[in-house]
Amino acid sequence: MKFSAQKSILHPALAAAKLVVPAKPAIAIAGCFLLRLKGNNLEISTNDATSLGLCLNVQVNGEKNGEIAVSAIDFTETVLNAPDGELIVSTEGLNLTVSWGEERDSDLTGRNSEDFVKTPVIEPDCHVELKVPDLSYLLAKVAFATSKNSDSRPSLTGILLEAEESKIVSVGTDSHRLSRVYIQPENEKDFSFTRQSIIPPRAIQALQSATTAVGDSEAMVSMDFSETYLKFHTPNVTVTAKLLEGPYPSWRPVIPANLPISIKFNTAEMLDVLHRVNASTDKTTHTARLSIQDSVIKISAVGSRRTREKIACVYENPEKGEPLHLGINASYLMEILKICDCEETHLLVNGEHSLCEILPAGDSSKLLFLLMLVRLPE
């Protein structure tokens, strides 16, 4: 195998592919890239040997077709440390050389490509198409609410995708908070998404990184699902991932049908005061008190330190003149408000000991957050 390519083209692709490689591979070949050259197309494949695989295509100046497996870390670092400009990559047997001038090169020991861990072949029964930015939107708005602990309920570490009429609804929850967003497929005629699937966020992160590296960041993504696997495919990137197993919480009944108490406030103002108040809260619970009366929200830390703030609001309560005291995880609320990314936020509740619904003002049909309220000390 022999080809030449600009470092500025080759390195971003390698760096994106390396994100899939396990930090401590159980077997040496699982820490490798499979490089396959055919004409001017360099195919870079990698997987974590358990649940996630990535293949991306880079256009190079090919001289001799061939394939080899090589350490992902060593090859990526060699290209990164090479000077800017054209690099020549060649193989002889199981030896790979990266050169950037006469007697200026670096040798790496490769492995037999036949030993590379194969990515499963998927026989899909569901198909849908989205654009890469729509999947990126999904990750940004939903993945933050997924659980970070996979020990007890692995399904909660994933993003739920399911169909609702001609739209896709995605949900993330860790049982303390929930995020839901609707996504409209580009081609409704090709919409055949009929199952409930739980996607590991790493699959979307891998797609994001790879499509950015090879120029597919605005491309259409073909999404194919089987009972146990999914495949994302753009013109130059393929991501294969094992779906997460286990039951997902029945989330629709959790969304309240009637929340009569409404509080509307400026998002940036609330974030500003929460930042200061949260510094004084208990570092385990991050509990803050929101006391609402008339047109003012008073925010204070619940903990050994005292910090008080207040901001203006629009407060509507059927119990006229009655104050409302809410216990809330300040850290969670800050995270939701950052995700909302809107001028005003709408907070709806039914009382002091239930949950609150948080909506970006003017966008309630697409994006919704739920946050469990915290019982305040007497």
Q: What is the DSSP string of 198-209?
A: EE-HHHHHHHHH
Asked if the structure places residue 106 within a domain, the reply is yes
Q: Is residue 342 part of a domain?
A: yes
CA separation for the pair 35, 69 (Å, rounded): 6
- What per-residue confidence (pLDDT) applies to 183? 85
Residue ending a domain, choose from 62, 94, 115: 115
Residue at 169 is within a domain: yes
pLDDT value of position 97: 96
**What are the percentages of helix, strand and coil residues in the chain, rounded to 5?**
25, 40, 35
143 and 107 co-located in one domain: no
Asked if residue 149 and residue 67 are part of one domain, the reply reads no
Name 257's Cβ contacts closer than 8 Å, sequence gap at least 6: none
Question: Does the residue 168 lie in any domain?
Answer: yes
Count of C-beta atoms within a 10 Å radius of residue 25:
15
Name which of 44, 56, 40 is nearest 5 in CA terms. 40
pLDDT at residue 365 greater than cutoff 70: no
| 280 & 175 share domain | no
Mean pLDDT of the chain: 91
For residues 365 and 140, the model is more confident at 140
Whether 16 shows a pLDDT value over 90: the answer reads yes
Whether residues 283 and 197 fall in one domain:
no
120: in domain: no
Give mean pLDDT, residues 91-106.
93
Give the Cα separation of 214 and 227 in Å (integer). Answer: 30
If pLDDT is split at 50, 70 and 90, which confidence band does 213 have? very high
φ and ψ of 82, to 5 deg? -70, 155
Instruction: Work out the pLDDT band at 239, boundaries 50, 70, 90.
Output: very high
| In the predicted structure, residue 89 carries a pLDDT above the cut 90 | yes
Q: What's the token pair of residue 60?
A: 């190079």
Listed ranges 30-44, 113-127, 243-257; the one with the highest mean pLDDT = 30-44
Pick from 193, 208, 242: which residue ends a domain? 242
* Percent of the chain residues past pLDDT 70, beyond the cut: 97
Q: Which pLDDT does position 377 carry in this prediction? A: 80
User: If we measure between CA atoms, which residue out of 133, 131, 87 comes closest to residue 106?
Assistant: 87
Q: What tens digit of pLDDT does each residue of 19-61 get?
A: 999 888 888 888 999 999 999 999 999 998 888 999 999 999 9
User: Is the pLDDT reported for residue 195 higher than 70?
Assistant: yes
- % of residues, the chain, pLDDT over 90: 71
Cα-based distances in Å from 201 to 12, 197, 205, 230, 358: 21, 12, 6, 12, 23
pLDDT of 273 over the 70 cut: yes
Q: Are residues 169 and 102 in the same domain?
A: no
Res 14: pLDDT: 97
**288 and 224, same structural domain?**
no
Same domain? For 273 and 361 the reply is: yes
> Is 175 a member of any domain?
yes
Q: Could you give the 3-state DSSP secondary structure of residue 143?
A: helix
> Which segments of the chain does DSSP mark as H helices, in order?
7-18, 72-81, 132-142, 201-214, 267-278, 330-340
Residues 344 and 363 in one domain: yes
pLDDT for 184 equals 79
Check whether 121 has a pLDDT greater than 90. Answer: no
Question: Are 173 and 369 spatial neighbours (Cβ–Cβ below 8 Å)?
Answer: no
Phi, psi torsion values for 258, nearest 5 degrees: -145, 115
Q: Are residues 144 and 107 in the same domain?
A: no
Does residue 268 sit in the same domain as residue 238?
no
Q: In terms of domains, do 206 and 273 share one?
A: no
Residue 313 reports pLDDT greater than 70 = yes
Please check the confidence at residue 228 and state whether its pLDDT lies above 80.
Answer: yes
Are residues 206 and 291 both part of a single domain? no
- Could you give the C-alpha distances from 88 to 45, 75, 99, 106, in angstroms and in order? 19, 13, 5, 11
The model's confidence at residue 363, banded by pLDDT at 50, 70 and 90, is low
Pair of tokens at residue 86: 């054209």
Q: Give residue 319's pLDDT band: very low, low, confident or very high (50, 70, 90).
A: confident
Q: Say if CB 100 and CB 80 are below 8 A apart.
A: no
**DSSP-assigned letters across all residues of 57-110:** EEE-EEEE-EEEEEEHHHHHHHHHHSPSSEEEEEEETTEEEEESSTT-EEEEEE
User: Which residue from 61, 75, 80, 58 is spatially nearest to 13, judged by alpha carbons?
Assistant: 58
Identify the CATH number of the domain in which residue 217 sits.
3.10.150.10
Q: What is the pLDDT of residue 24?
A: 87
Domain end, chosen from 91, 115, 139, is at 115
Residue 219 lies in a domain: yes
Predicted pLDDT at 188: 61
Give tens-digit pLDDT for 167-191. Answer: 889 999 999 999 999 887 766 666 6
In the predicted model, what is the mean pLDDT of residues 88-100?
96
Closest CA relative to residue 161, chosen from 133, 177, 139: 139
Average pLDDT over residues 248-267: 92
Query: How many structural domains compose the chain?
Result: 3
Contact 203, 148 (CB under 8 A): no
Domain with 8, as residue range(s), is 2-115
Structure confidence at residue 189 (pLDDT): 61
Q: Which pLDDT value is given to residue 179?
A: 96
- Looking at residue 190, its pLDDT comes to 62
Q: Quick check: is 250 in a domain? A: no
